[in-house]
Amino acid sequence: MMRSILAATLLLGAFGAQAAQTVVPQKSRIGFTFSQMNTPADGFFKNYTAAIDFDPAKPESAKAQIVIDLASIDVGGPDGNAEAKKKAWFDVAANPKGTFTATSVKALGGGKFETKGKLTIKGISRDVVGQMTAKQQGAELVLEGSVPLLRLNYKLGDGAWADTGTVADEVTVKFKLVLTGKAGQ
């Protein structure tokens, strides 16, 4: 509980005066794709908060922090969801949140951007690089992209689950974030 309050306070302090953009939760999604026993599988997180300030014309001034409630994981069934919350995977009892903090965004042309940031899961922080697109749709800005990562770098799947023949090491985080409001106001 204290971590949640601290995270919310930090988000408000870091972005409250600057971020005029709001994420539209019912149109947004943070998910992932992985392979289990050579079969592709998908999952997503039902609950997260995001403080984002992004103007496609000024990507270098972007700010973003996303805090994910790891206990809200959904991998398609109650057994898988319960397993993912255990110590060998996300260990949500000890590490209830995962965070992504953008460190830079660079335009690649054609509405595409390279994103760099710090991803923290289970207390382990790593630099990650991904790509996204930004499309204006009426009053909304739609950011869609992906970030590849290696689950074992975050100790996701300890013990018997560390066998990459059962669950592949490669995971792709996929996101669609729909924003309203203007950046930097």
5 located within any domain: no
pLDDT tens-digit readout, 120-154: 999 999 999 999 999 999 999 999 999 999 999 99
Count of domains for the chain:
1
- 3-state secondary structure (DSSP) of residue 30: strand
117 token code pair = 């940031």
pTM: 0.86
- Give the structural domain span for 143: 23-180
Query: What is the average pLDDT across 165-181?
Result: 96
Q: Write the CATH number for 114.
A: 2.40.128.110
Q: What is the mean pLDDT of the chain?
A: 90
The whole-number pLDDT of residue 182 equals: 87
Count Cβ atoms within 10 A of the Cβ of residue 157 and give its class: 0-12 exposed, 13-18 middle, 19 or more buried.
Answer: buried
pLDDT digits (tens, 9 = 90+) for 27-54: 999 999 999 999 999 999 999 999 999 9
* Contact in structure between 74 and 94 (CB atoms under 8 Å): no
In a domain, 9, yes or no: no
Percent with pLDDT over 90 in the chain:
85
- Is residue 42 in a domain? yes
Task: Identify whether 10 is part of a domain.
Answer: no
Query: Is 12 contained in some domain?
Result: no
35 DSSP β-pair partners: 40
Residue 169: is it exposed, middle or buried by C-beta count within 10 angstroms (0-12/13-18/19+)? middle
Do 32 and 174 touch, CB atoms closer than 8 A?
A: yes
